Structures are given as structure tokens and as C-alpha cells.
Amino acid sequence: MSYVPDNFKYVESHEWIEVLDNGNVRIGITEHAQNALGDIVFVELPEEDTYAIGDECGVVESVKTASDIYTPLTGTVVAVNDALEDAPELINENPYDDGWIFEMSIDDANELKDLMTAEEYRNSIEDEE
Amino acid sequence: MPFIPHTSDDIKTMLDAIGVEKIADLFDEIPKELLIEGLTHVPSQMNEMQVSRFIKDKSRVDHSLKCFAGGGAYEHHIPAAIWQLATRGEFYTAYTPYQAEVSQGSLQVIYEFQSMMAKLTGMEVSNASMYDGASALAEAALMAVRANRKSKSKVILVPRTVNPVYRQVLHNIVHNQNIKVVDVDFDSTTGTVTLDNLAQYNDQDITALVIPQPNHFGVFEDVDALTNWAHDKNTFAIAVVNPTSLALLKAPGQWGNDGVDICVGEGQPLGVPLSSGGPYFGFMTTRQKFIRNMPGRIVGQTTDLDDKPGYTLAFQAREQHIRRAKATSNICTNQGLMVTGATIYMALLGETGLKQVATACMQNCTYLKQKLQEAGIKVLFNSPNFHELVIQTEKKPQEIINDLAKVGIIAGVDLSGFYPELGNVMSICVTETKTQADMDDFVANIVSL
């Protein structure tokens, strides 16, 4: 079973969401997702722009496929993990930490309530693993 | 007999299974206005004998006339070895093979082709080819819209000195994708695009500027100034070039301060026969940093488990069989056979040979220009030419073309419909295939009309 940290939130498209102290959120893809993709060779990072829930904002490319990254919340991208440009493998090695992809300032904190808990996400990927 | 193995019962079973009444219903999502009712220009059927006679009559026209027509397809000498080799059974397919890695020889040819095109255009990467020069330009426009993240306008500036047929194809392919293709006028003295012609766009968000070299009038654009104009305002520079001319000219990768972003062109001059219009092939080269936005296939070199060199398809993750609707392009194949011919052509001629061909073209064109002017024929534009020039005549170009056809000469290409403001104009092309006697004869014939 892939590791799913308890203190993060999740969406069906396999992004994790960490609420930071300043109210912004940090977003990446789950260990389950990086496992399914295989060796990641390239990350197209989001632009610092405004997005709605479910917008495509970037691409994670592995040797097998290229998969879109979706914004799980409405808001503005305020930071991206530039380290991934030269070291996309950070997502494979450490998806919840060094492998973070972008940070957003969110428009409506209520949207956080609709995200999956770690328990719910674990159940949702159970069948796939 | 239909060449489909399904019986009516098979078809009915399949349609029932998915709950559809008839096959036509499967295409319901295509808007009615896009459907063509009947192909009036295509005869309904011919038998084998009629078809072979029809094709033979068509092919008889090839090589029977002395060709002074250019306009995008150019007659060059093709050494016999090229098609002797290219049509060997091992190469004889238009496709990148399925199970590509089994066909190491084919992949190596494509890899060598890419290396040669990258070198010739001064760019970092090349794809395995496109359908032709016009569709390559359209793909370059789509790619610029994807790759130029500093521009939001989706406006592509295209000088009217770009081949009008390319401009039509570009419009047809991109106009339904919210991309705006805008014509840019040219200077009537030089026959080129100047910064004055572009001045009205100085303060506008422009995604890409197309820069032809040589242009459709056969003259040289100020490519350095145009490339710098584009880059100064975060606009992509797309070069459309004649590959033969690059043996002498500065490579697009070196235009201006930083070189162009995308380079495309028609590959036919590199050893592909005119063949009444095709098949030809297009080429596309770009910068390493844009490789994920480039359409088409790319062959890479690698080493196998025994450390021996091997060839493999690279960057497939952006292709349609993996990315589906989000693929960079629907080009999943390429003009493999034409590319094989072109690769052998470039290898056989080498840098020196290609330079000799280009030099002979330019010398012949200079000679023809002088002879035409001496004979009192008006050659338009005061710019130097590569192997094509434009003349202005009293008679209608089509009449001149018809009259010279009677004495075995294809006189040129009628441009009057595309550039009505220039009056009766036609372009004339002369390559290394013509002798001075051929050109003297051409001038004498055109004067005698």
C-alpha cells in the first residue's frame, strides 16, 4: 500500500494538498500516482496565473506517458518548484516533500471541506493497488 | 465486391450491441456543414486498364518539357544512385515501421536525416519529417502557439512574400483553432518585408512571425532584422527556407542575435523528383527547449545492453497513441521514403556538392536576369535573387505560359492572381539543370512572342 500522509488532503486525480501556515496550499502528486507513472523525466510547471477547480495547469511526463496536473482548488499559483526542471525524479523519490509541484493562494477556504481525507483517498486507491 | 470482410449480419450485430441503427449515425457528432455531399471532381470508378492508361498519360508530361517553373517545387539533378538505393526492399515504405525498434536500419536513416537537417538549418533538433512544406508551416504555427508562453494573442504574422499556397494551407489548418493569421504587406521596391511593413504591430502581442528565405519572389529577406524584431517583443521567429539555398546562406539558427525558434521548409529540392506535385516531404527543426512542443516523431541514438549503438523512437509520451486528444499533433507517421532519398542525396553530395548546386543555381539566375533585362523585359524588385525571379509583362502570364508550352518550355508560374497590384507578373526559376544555351533559347522565345 502506498504511503498516504494523514495531515494532507487529496483529490481523485491523485494530487495531494497541504495547507501551509500562511493559509496558502502546497500541491503535488501522491506516491500512488508517481508509482503508476514510473520514472518521471520531465515536469511542465504551472504558470503563475489564476485557475479554477479542475483546470489543467501542468504536465508530468514519465517514460511511459504524460499526465496532466489539475488544480484542486480555485485560486492563484504563487510559487512553483523550480528544482523539478533539472531534477524531475524528486517526484519519484520524495513525492510529499522535495517533490512538491506548486503553491496556490486560494480564493475560498470552504473548498477545502470538499477534498478527500487521507482515509478516503486510501479507500479510493485500494482497488487499484 | 467490397473490400470489407464483415457481412451485413456482422455489421447489424455490432450496431445492435452499441445501440446504433446505422453506420452513418456513428458520425453524427460531425457538424453537418463540414460534411461534403458527393465528390463531384472524382470519377465514380475506373477499371484497372483505364487507370493505368490515365496514369501513363499523366506521367508522359513529366520530363518532356524544359522546366523554368519553380514556385515551391524545384527541378534538380538527381544522381541515379539515390533512387536505386532508396527503393531497395529494406527501405521501401512510407511509414516509420510499427515495432519501430526492430527496423534499426530505417531508424538509423531517420537519425542521420535529423542530424543533417539540424546541421543544415543550424538548429538543435529535427523531427523525422512532415507531409510537405506547407503543412510543416501550419504545424510550426500550432507549435508556436503552444510553446510561446509569453504570448496570449494567438496571432501569427505571415508576410505576403511567403508562398501563397503555403498561406492557404496554413489558414485551412489553423483557422478553426482560434488562431489568427494576419497578412503583412511587402515593400514594392525591394519585394521584401521591411520593418516599416511591421511597424503597425510594434506594440501588439504577436505570437509568431513567419520569415521566408528566399521569399516567393526569389529574393532575399533581411532575416537578421526580422528575427530581432520578433525576439525584441517576445514573438517567435519561424523560418520557411529552401534547403538548397542553405548551402550558401546563413543558417536560420544564426539569424539575428539568437537565431529563429522554429525552422520549416519543403524538402523536395533534396533529391525528390518533381513527379507532377508529389509525394514530397516537409522538414522541421527547433531548439532543444521546445522539443516537447514539436510535432512528429523523433529518433534518438542510445546504447543497448552490450553497449552497442542503437536507435529508438524518443519522446513518444507526447504522441497521439499515448497523449490521445492532447497530443502535439496527429502526425504519427512521416514521409519515410522521400526522407530516405533526401538523406542519400545529402550524403552523396556532401557539403561541397550541395554548395556547388546552390552556386550554379545562383549563377544561372544571375545570367538569366541579365539576359532578360538586356532583351528589354522588366524584372521586378532591386534585391538579389537565389534561383527565381519575377518578371512583369504586357501579355497575360497564362498566355505566355501557353505559347511557350507549344515550343517545349514550361515558362514559369503565373503570380498575377495572388498579387493583383503587380499587374501581369510571373515567376521564372532556373536551377543547375539549365545550360546557357537553354537560357538563351528561353529568352529568345519569350522575346519573340
Phi/psi for A108 (5° steps) reads -140, 105
Give chain B positions within 8 Å (CB) of A41. Answer: 317
Count of domains forming chain A: 1
Tell me the mean pLDDT in the region B173-202. 96
The CATH number that domain B80-343 falls under is 3.40.640.10
Assign A24 a pLDDT band (cuts: 50, 70, 90).
very high
The pLDDT, as a whole number, for residue B33 is: 85
Considering just the CA atoms, what is the radius of gyration of chain B in Å? 24
The pLDDT, as a whole number, for residue A129 is: 73
The pLDDT, as a whole number, for residue A88 is: 96
Pairing of strands A75-80, A50-51: antiparallel
Which residue is closest to B321 within chain A, CA to CA? A65
Residue range of the domain that includes A115: 9-124
Instruction: Please determine, for residue A43, whether its predicted confidence score (pLDDT) is greater than 80.
Output: yes
- DSSP readout, chain A? -----TT-EE-TTSEEEEE-TTS-EEEEE-HHHHHHH-SEEEEEPPPSSEE-TT-EEEEEEESS-EEEEE-SSSEEEEEE-THHHH-TTHHHH-TTTTT--EEEEES-GGGGGGSBPHHHHHHHHHTT-
Distance from CA of B351 to the nearest CA of A (A): 36
Instruction: Please determine, for residue A98, whether its predicted confidence score (pLDDT) is greater than 90.
Output: yes
Instruction: Please determine, for residue B15, whether its predicted confidence score (pLDDT) is greater than 90.
Output: yes
Measure the CA–CA gap between B447 and B429, rounded to whole angstroms: 17
Q: Which residue has the higher pLDDT, B7 or B316?
A: B7
Among candidates B149, B292, B322 on the partner chain, residue whose Cβ is nearest the Cβ of A65 = B322
- Lowest average pLDDT, out of A124-128, B153-157, B229-233, B351-355, goes to A124-128
C-alpha cell at B248: 550558401
Q: How far is CA B122 from the centre of its chain?
A: 18
Write down the domain spans for chain B. 80-343, 355-447
Residues on chain A bordering chain B, Cβ-to-Cβ distance under 8 angstroms? 41-42, 44, 47, 61-66, 68
Measure the CA–CA gap between B34 and B20, rounded to whole angstroms: 22
**What are the angstrom distances between the C-alpha of B208 and each of A31, B141, B145, B169?**
40, 7, 8, 17
Q: Is residue A3 part of a domain?
A: no
Among candidates A42, A63, A68 on the partner chain, residue whose Cβ is nearest the Cβ of B292 = A42
Digit-coded pLDDT (tens) for B387-430: 999 999 999 999 999 999 999 999 999 999 999 999 999 999 99
Q: Is residue A129 part of a domain?
A: no
Tell me the mean pLDDT in the region B373-399. 96
The pLDDT, as a whole number, for residue B1 is: 52
Q: Is residue A69 part of a domain?
A: yes
- DSSP readout, B96-163? PPSSGGG-HHHHHHHHHHHHHHHHHHT-SEE-S-BS-HHHHHHHHHHHHHHH-TT--S-EEEEETTS-
ipTM: 0.76
Tell me the mean pLDDT in the region A80-89. 96
| Residue B248, helix vs strand vs coil | coil
The contacts of residue B4 (CB under 8 Å, 6+ apart) are none
For chain B positions 271-330, those within 8 Å of chain A (CB to CB) are 292, 317-318, 322-323, 326
Q: Is residue A43 part of a domain?
A: yes
Does A65 contact B149 at a Cβ distance shorter than 8 Å?
Answer: no
Instruction: Please determine, for residue B282, whether its predicted confidence score (pLDDT) is greater than 60.
Output: yes
Phi/psi for B194 (5° steps) reads -110, 170
Tell me the mean pLDDT in the region B154-172. 98
Assign B431 a pLDDT band (cuts: 50, 70, 90).
very high
Asked if B152 reaches chain A (Cβ–Cβ under 8 Å), the answer is no
Tell me the mean pLDDT in the region A60-75. 92
- Looking at CATH, the fold of the domain delimited by B355-447 is given as Aspartate Aminotransferase, domain 1 (3.90.1150)
Q: Is residue A1 part of a domain?
A: no
Kindly report the CATH number assigned to the domain that includes residue A24: 2.40.50.100
Give chain B positions within 8 Å (CB) of A64. Answer: 317, 322
Across chain B, mean pLDDT equals 93
The pLDDT, as a whole number, for residue B98 is: 67
Instruction: Please determine, for residue A102, whether its predicted confidence score (pLDDT) is greater than 60.
Output: yes
The pLDDT, as a whole number, for residue B422 is: 97
The pLDDT, as a whole number, for residue B323 is: 81
The pLDDT, as a whole number, for residue B334 is: 65
- Its pTM stands at 0.88
Map grid coordinates 510547471 to a residue.
A45
3-state helix, strand, coil in chain B (%, to 5): 45, 15, 40
The contacts of residue B362 (CB under 8 Å, 6+ apart) are B248, B385, B386, B387
Distance from CA of A24 to the nearest CA of B (A): 25
